[in-house]
């Protein structure tokens, strides 16, 4: 047996890095391979503006010449400090069930981070808190959802054996839509005290540049005090905006206005795994026409609330409660136009009770739990 850890340098190793999960997890219940092309836009340094904020390096592992795992490490620039978390992070960690392979990957990333002065490190952030984060520790057989990382149960067990411990859990909820949700009934917008103050409109994809500025401003204000927060840049949002025009239904994005000013927004995307699972991650050369046709004609059964934010000034206030209630009611109203059976709300920090309570009161249940780990790499850190 031979294990090789190769740094990602050039198109060939980058392509290998992106396709590792679909190769090593193929056939596992709960896993659906993301499209390689979409992974290129997420992990490509020239395609994702996130990488302008960090120094970074990635590696792939090969066992006996076959791809067996991957990992990425990054250090945020000095003027960017995640809230409560380390600037030194790792992510995109995937491995076959082999302790030696995982050990070799972590050794490479830890050495790279230690050489840059790392003490505490946190992860996985893949590649950032504003993209995909955490390692799945509960919900392995749940319905696969877009932009949600998946890993088998053995991976967190091997991580903890290596000395990593829990820093935070992030929770994803499943809300099953029923006939009661689709029934016509008066909502908060019909109440006299809110009828003239609350307005809901679609996000205008034809004016996405101006809409993006408002979305990013609300998002950063809403989440600025959350653990791990790093500002979401306008450039990061715009790097995905063109894709939204193809995959977001007309009523998938909406803005909630209070007294004429935007105060909250939500973007719900259809679960593309429903139409791409049979492509095994390959979009080119024949997959692209199939996906375009399916997006136009397929009736999705599930979707995900990918982005949401409500301005911090409204948190724990009556007006904020009214905005959230209007948001939930609007999701229900719009479900009448589609055949969606369930929606996933993701990335809620376990200690964010202000967000968890209204979600749970709506009838949603915990569907997946992802864990962010921490490890002390300093010289005086105790051995695991």
pLDDT digits (tens, 9 = 90+) for 280-334: 888 776 677 777 778 777 888 999 998 999 999 988 788 888 888 888 888 877 7
Q: Is the pLDDT of residue 335 over 80?
A: no
Give me the percent of the chain exceeding a pLDDT of 70: 98
Structural domain total, the chain: 2
Same domain, 130 and 185: no
Q: To the nearest whole number, what is the mean pLDDT of the chain?
A: 90
Q: Is residue 154 within 8 Å of 97, Cβ to Cβ?
A: yes
Question: How many CB atoms are closer than 10 A to CB 318?
Answer: 9
pLDDT digits (tens, 9 = 90+) for 340-351: 889 998 889 999
Is position 384 within any domain?
Answer: no
Comparing 64-68, 81-85, 263-267, 335-339, the range with the smallest average pLDDT is 335-339
Same domain, 277 and 129: no
| Vertex 258: Cα angle to 256 and 264 (nearest 5) | 35
Averaged pLDDT, 81-98: 97
User: How much is the pLDDT for 128?
Assistant: 96
Is position 222 within any domain?
Answer: yes
Under the banding of pLDDT at 50, 70 and 90, the label for residue 183 is confident
Residue 301, C-beta contacts closer than 8 angstroms, at least 6 positions apart: 271, 274, 339, 340, 341, 342
Residue in the structure block whose two tokens are 């590696």: 59
Q: Whole domain around residue 69: which residue ranges? A: 3-170+371-376
User: How much is the pLDDT for 323?
Assistant: 85
User: How much is the pLDDT for 352?
Assistant: 87
Q: Which residues are bridge partners to 383 per DSSP?
A: none
Same domain, 336 and 251: yes
The whole model's pTM is what?
A: 0.93
Under the banding of pLDDT at 50, 70 and 90, the label for residue 263 is very high
Same domain, 321 and 306: yes
The CATH number linked to 316 is 3.40.630.30
Is position 383 within any domain?
Answer: no
Same domain, 77 and 218: no
User: How much is the pLDDT for 384?
Assistant: 44
User: How much is the pLDDT for 64?
Assistant: 95
Same domain, 139 and 198: no
CA 196, 202, 205, 210 dihedral sign is positive
Averaged pLDDT, 139-155: 95
């Amino acid at each position: 047996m031979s294990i090789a850890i190769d740094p990602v340098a050039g198109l060939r190793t980058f392509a290998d890095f992106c396709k590792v999960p679909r190769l090593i997890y193929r056939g596992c219940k709960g896993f659906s391979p993301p499209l390689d092309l979409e992974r290129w836009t997420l992990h490509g340094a020239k395609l994702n503006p996130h990488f302008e904020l960090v120094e970074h390096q990635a590696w792939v592992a090969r066992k006996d010449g076959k791809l067996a795992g991957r990992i990425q490490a990054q250090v945020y620039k000095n003027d960017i400090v995640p809230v409560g978390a380390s600037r030194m992070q790792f992510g995109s960690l995937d491995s076959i069930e082999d302790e030696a392979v995982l050990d070799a990957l972590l050794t490479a990333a830890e050495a790279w981070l230690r050489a840059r002065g790392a003490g505490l490190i946190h992860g996985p952030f893949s590649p950032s808190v504003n993209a995909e984060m955490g390692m799945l520790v509960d919900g392995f057989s749940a319905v696969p959802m877009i932009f949600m990382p998946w890993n088998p149960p053995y991976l967190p067990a091997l991580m903890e054996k290596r000395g990593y411990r829990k820093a935070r859990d992030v929770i994803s909820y499943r809300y099953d839509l029923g006939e009661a949700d689709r029934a016509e009934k008066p909502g908060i917008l019909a109440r006299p005290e809110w009828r003239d103050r609350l307005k809901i409109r679609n996000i205008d994809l034809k004016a996405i540049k101006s809409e993006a500025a408002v979305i990013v401003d609300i998002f950063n204000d809403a989440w600025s005090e959350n653990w791990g927060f790093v500002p979401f840049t306008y450039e990061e949002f715009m790097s995905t905006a063109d894709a939204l025009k193809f995959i977001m239904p007309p009523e998938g994005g909406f803005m909630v206005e209070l007294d004429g000013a935007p105060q909250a927004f939500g973007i719900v995307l259809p679960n593309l795994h429903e139409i791409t699972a049979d492509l095994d991650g390959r979009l080119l050369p024949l997959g692209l026409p199939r996906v375009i046709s399916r997006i136009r004609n397929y009736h999705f059964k599930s979707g995900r609330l990918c982005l949401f934010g409500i301005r911090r000034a409204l948190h724990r206030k009556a007006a904020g409660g009214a905005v959230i209630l209007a948001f939930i009611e609007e999701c229900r109203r719009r479900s009448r136009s589609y055949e969606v059976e369930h929606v996933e709300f993701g990335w809620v920090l376990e200690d964010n009770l202000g967000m968890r309570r209204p979600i749970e009161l709506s009838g949603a249940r915990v569907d997946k739990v992802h864990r962010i780990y921490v490890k002390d790499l300093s010289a005086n850190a105790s051995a695991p």
